[in-house]
Amino acid sequence: MIPWASPRAQYFAHKDEIQAAISRVLASGLYVLGEEVESFESAFADYCGAGHAVGVGSGTDALILALKALDIGPGDEVVTVSHTAVATAAAIIATGAAPVLIDVDPNYYTLNPAGLEKAIGPRTKAVIAVHLYGQSADMDAISAIAGRHGLKVIEDCAQAAGACYRDQRVGSIGDISCFSFYPTKNLGAIGDGGMITTRNANLASRVRRLRQYGWNETRETENVGVNSRLDSLQAAILNVKLAHLDADNARRRAIAQRFNDGLAGLPLALPKERQQTSHAYHLYVIACDDRDGLKTHLEKQQIGSAVHYPTPVHGQKGYSELSRIPDGELLVTDRLVRRILTLPLYPELSEVDCDSIVAAVRSYYGSSC
């Protein structure tokens, strides 16, 4: 069986370096925050070109703390998309604010700037631009609209570590940005973890306090915070993997191109790349009219697949009741979730596996390679 994702394969690809890092941390006796975390924070900030990076417990925590650092809370609204991992909306609600859900662009599946301006109301404080599947959102258009209305721009980079928009890494464009290091991500921990990046030193300092009860340097509380700390073991592992991220992402792009070539001519919508961006291909997502039939066929051929995501935020009762939908309906999103399918894509896929995946998809449509 070829799984749709394989954190285990990534571990074995870098096993010796990872094991050395684990042994170093275990021998140090320092397991939460400390030098390993500071080293990774510095390396990640440099990698993103953001200036400052703060390690936290998860990608969801990163979003919550970023919102809190921007003083967003009860009575406020934050515009984002419904076609995203539910964590984006869950974080907004966790602060007491309300999500305002708009549609995605039909070509790139990221926030459609055309719906942003009319979604802004008197309580709107920020917009979360989700770089979905590894494709950067249209940051020029989003930033311009946000600037006209005095809104903060938060980048949700959970699926896009290493992606670029024009000549900038994602995570360095908005006011503050959030990453997830969940094991299946391009830069994945062996456990959980997250990171907040920003160019603003004051924001970074505030996040550092909020991630640990709101303590200052003398452990006195200035603002009430939480306990969301990146542990030393994960930081050391992630620092090892960071050195390989660009090469791994290049391999992802090469596999995506192999799929694009191999699946050309079939009744599928293949991933599109926005001009002047570098797609990180966290996920390779196609769209077709008979998604469920193709998924079942692939399973019989020992090919794993998944749906990201079968139910949008506005279709989930607990979240929809706390959200505002300016248009009343999200037609692009509602059509997408019935058609999208994630095929396997990770750097460790062999050429033979790639060709098997292509052959399995083509065989569903009665076509040979």
- What's the token pair of residue 360? 């399995």
- Residue 327's pLDDT is 83
- Give the number of other CB atoms < 10 A from CB of residue 207: 27
Domains, the chain: 7-101+109-242 (3.40.640.10), 245-364 (3.90.1150.10)
Question: Are the C-beta atoms of residues 313 and 319 closer than 8 Å to each other?
Answer: yes
Query: What's 103's DSSP letter?
Result: P
Which residues lie across from 278 on neighbouring strands? 164
Q: What is the torsional sign of CA 354, 356, 361, 365? A: positive
Complete edge-to-edge strand list for the sheet that includes strand 164-165: 168-169, 164-165, 277-278
The burial of 30, by beta-carbon neighbours within 10 Å (0-12 exposed, 13-18 middle, 19 or more buried), is given as middle
Q: How far is CA 282 from CA 71, 100, 102, 142, 367, in A?
A: 31, 26, 23, 22, 27
- Cα–Cα dist 99/88, whole Å: 9
Q: What pLDDT was estimated at residue 23?
A: 97
Residue 188 CB: number of other CB atoms within 10 A?
A: 24
d(CA 130, CA 313) in angstroms, rounded, equals 13
Phi and psi at 122, nearest 5°, equal -65, -20
Tokens describing residue 280: 């990180």
Among 282, 195, 289, residue whose Cα is nearest residue 239: 195
- Confidence (pLDDT) at 368: 58
Which residue bears the tokens 């258009």?
A: 141
Note the pLDDT tens digit of each residue in 63-113.
999 999 999 999 999 999 999 999 999 999 999 999 999 999 999 999 999
The encoded tokens of residue 108 equal: 């790139």
For the stretch 313-344, pLDDT in tens is 999 999 999 999 998 899 999 999 999 999 99
Q: What is the pLDDT of residue 114?
A: 94
- Distance between CA 208 and CA 213 in Å, rounded? 10
| Identity at 79, one-letter amino acid code | V
Rg (CA), the chain: 20
**pTM assigned to the model:** 0.97
Each residue's pLDDT tens digit in the chain (369 positions)?
A: 999 999 999 999 999 999 999 999 999 998 898 999 999 999 999 999 999 999 999 999 999 999 999 999 999 999 999 999 999 999 999 999 999 999 999 999 999 999 999 999 999 999 999 999 999 999 999 999 999 999 999 999 999 999 999 999 999 999 999 999 999 999 999 999 999 999 999 999 999 999 998 878 778 887 888 899 999 999 999 999 999 999 999 999 999 999 999 999 999 999 999 999 999 999 999 999 999 999 999 999 999 999 999 999 999 999 999 999 998 899 999 999 999 999 999 999 999 999 999 999 999 998 655
The answer to whether 197 and 206 are in contact (CB under 8 A) is: no
In three-state secondary structure terms, 214 is coil
Helix then strand then coil, in percent of the chain rounded to 5, is: 40, 15, 40
Determine the Cα–Cα distance for residues 43 and 90; give it in Å rounded to an integer.
29
Token match 């406020």: residue?
A: 76
